[in-house]
Structure 1
């Protein structure tokens, strides 16, 4: 049981890191959009692309959609960050809440952005690995503790 507690704690620390990175990414993305700099918000996300190729006149609707993405990064980061403190103690609901919000957000990122080749390995792909590891550790500890 002591070893399982360590797994919950490691998972919690991973979710804290993941949450903080996504809160920051959300704030930066929304800040660029609110300042009217759609190209920089895209370049901040699709960092494997040459920023010069992203300089163009984007429709305001594109900025609004990317702004919504930034807002989603922000709130998902907050949910996982808060969940982490409950995961630390092995709370089942927090484990599943973080896995659903953070895990599904990263699955979409992996499928469309990572596999699309639009990003460098750090930080996006690393955060996908972090969330996957957090989910695996917390699920393993949770289901092992129920036996």
Structure 2
């Protein structure tokens, strides 16, 4: 097995983990909205914030926005999970699809939640590191192969 193959397989495994975690997070976020406990969704997301501050009687419109966020977490996780199996084989389109969906989702997380100080290091920040490593390893293979041909 050559270095490029190992890197693509590593990237694939990282995206599988990332995708599964985000599908679960999406389900958990939507669950809080569907059972009309919007506070539970916020507490699950902003885990560095005192939970008592987040327990409020939120308007239904806020629940709808949080529900949409959960849905987006789910489908982005699903897209990266499926892409991972194509990345394993070196599919360029899958590499870029996972990087765009997962990478941009985590960029938003990093900018607004991490830098805002609303989350603990685990699990969200670790997921940002995982997606970054997945992007770096697969892009390295892609751009290395482009420059050697």
The two structures share one fold, judged by TM-score above 0.5: yes
1:21-50 CA distance string (max 9 Å, x none): 000000000011000000000000000011
Structure 1 stretches (4+) deviating beyond 2 angstroms? Answer: none
Give the drift of 1:53. 1.2
* Alpha-carbon separation, structure 1, partners of 2:21 and 2:55: 26
Distance, in Å, in 1 between the alignment partners of 2:30 and 2:56 is 19
Match of 1:34 in 2: 34
Which residue does the alignment assign to 1:17? 17
Match of 2:64, SS state, is helix
Alignment of 1:1-147 (within 5 A): 2-146=2-146, 147=148
Helix, strand or coil at the partner of 1:57: coil
The separation in 1 between residues aligned to 2:80 and 2:57, in whole angstroms, is 35
- 1:69-88 per-residue CA deviation (whole Å, 9 max, x = no partner) reads 00000000000000000000
Distance between the aligned counterparts of 2:25 and 2:144, measured in 1? 34
Distance (whole Å) between structure 2 residues aligned to residue 64 and residue 89 of structure 1: 39
TM-score by length of 2: 0.97
Structure 2: 5+ residue stretches without partners: none
How far, CA to CA, are the matches of 2:55 and 2:29 in structure 1?
16
Aligned partners of 1:31, 1:59: CA distance in 2, in Å? 17
